Copies of this chain bind each other. A is one copy, B any other.
Amino acid sequence: MEPIYIRIFKDIEAKILSGDWRPGDRIPREHDLVNDYGCSRMTVSKALTALVERGLVVRKRKTGSFVAAPQINRTVMDIQDIGTAATLAGYEHRHEILTRKIETLGPVEAAQLNSIAGVEILRIHCLHIVDGKPTAVERRIILLDTVPLARTESFVGAPPAKWLLSQVPWSKAKHVIRAVSADAATARILKIDRGDPCLNLIRQTWQNDRMVTYVEITHPGDRFQFAGIFHPTESALRQ
C-alpha cells in the first residue's frame, strides 16, 4: 500500500507536469486537501514539502500554495573520484604519485584559493591510469593544518581523493568545469598532443569554513566526460 503523502505528491505532480495546472495557479488549500484525501494536515504538509523540494510548488503564508514558475535547469552531477568511476564502469584503475612535497602557500596562490599565505600545504601530482590509458592528471593541494594526518600519508594504497574522503567529512564543495588546451607538461604526461582539448575539473572543499583541499584534474577530451541524470521525483521522495 502506497503511503498517502506519496499519492498526494504524485497526483499534484501529474497535474503540473501535464500542464493541467499552469505556473502561478493556486493549489488547493491544505485544509481542502485534508478533506479531499480524508487524511490529517501533517500528511498533506509532508507531500507539499516534497513538492517544494522538487521545485514544483511554492508556499506562501496567508495567500496559499502555487505552481512554481518554470525552473532553471538544475542537475545533480556525481563528480566521483576517478578510481570509483572506473570501477563502476568495469575498468581497471591504478595511479602513480608523480610529486609529493610539503611547502608553504605563496601569496599569489593564497589569493586564488581565498586562503592565507604562509600556511603549510602538501602538494601532490598524480597520474591516473584507467584501462591501461592515462586518463587524468591530478594536481592537488592539501592544507596540513586541516588534515594533519596527510603529512605522513604516502597515498600509495589509496589515491588522494579516496584517502581524503575517508579522513575528512566535508561540509561545502565548489566545482568548476572548463575546457582547456593541453600545455606541454600535461600533454607529455597524458601522452597526447600539445593543444589537444582537455576537460578540466577544479574542486575546492571545506570543512566548516576551513579549507581542506584544492584540486585540478585534467582529462584528455576524448577519454572522459561528465554525465548527470535528474530524476526529480526520486530525489524529492528518496524512493
Asked whether, in the complex, the Cβ of A198 is within 8 Å of the Cβ of B227, the reply is no
Inter-subunit contact A172/B228 (CB<8 Å): no
With beta carbons under 8 angstroms apart, the residue of B18, B80, B178 that contacts A72 is B80
The stretch of A96-104, A107-115, A121-129, A230-238 in contact with B is A230-238
Binds B, one of A30-38, A135-143, A163-171: A163-171
The answer on a CB contact under 8 Å between A75 and B175 is yes
Type the 1/0 row for A70-100, where 1 means its CB is closer than 8 Å to any CB of B: 1111111111110010000000000000000
* A231 CB contacts on chain B under 8 angstroms: 172
- Cα of A153 to Cα of B178 in the assembled complex, Å: 33
Say if the beta carbon of A203 comes within 8 Å of chain B.
yes
- Tell me whether A185 is interfacial, beta carbon within 8 Å: no
A17–B170 alpha-carbon span in the complex (Å): 7
Q: Closest CB-CB distance, A56 to chain B, in whole Å?
A: 8
- With a cutoff of 8 Å between Cβ atoms, the chain B residues found around residue A208 in the complex are 17-18
Contact B166 A70 (CB under 8 A): yes
| Chain B residues near A74 (CB-CB < 8 A) | 76-79
Q: What are the residues of chain B within 8 A of A42 when measuring CB–CB?
A: 42
Which positions 143-171 of chain A face chain B at CB distance < 8 Å? 161, 165-166, 168-169, 171
Nearest Cβ on chain B to A119's Cβ, whole angstroms: 20
A198 to chain B, nearest CB (A): 6
Cα separation A224 to B19 with both chains bound (whole Å)? 34
* 7 nearest CB pairs, A to B: A179-B221, A197-B197, A179-B199, A179-B179, A178-B225, A177-B226, A179-B197
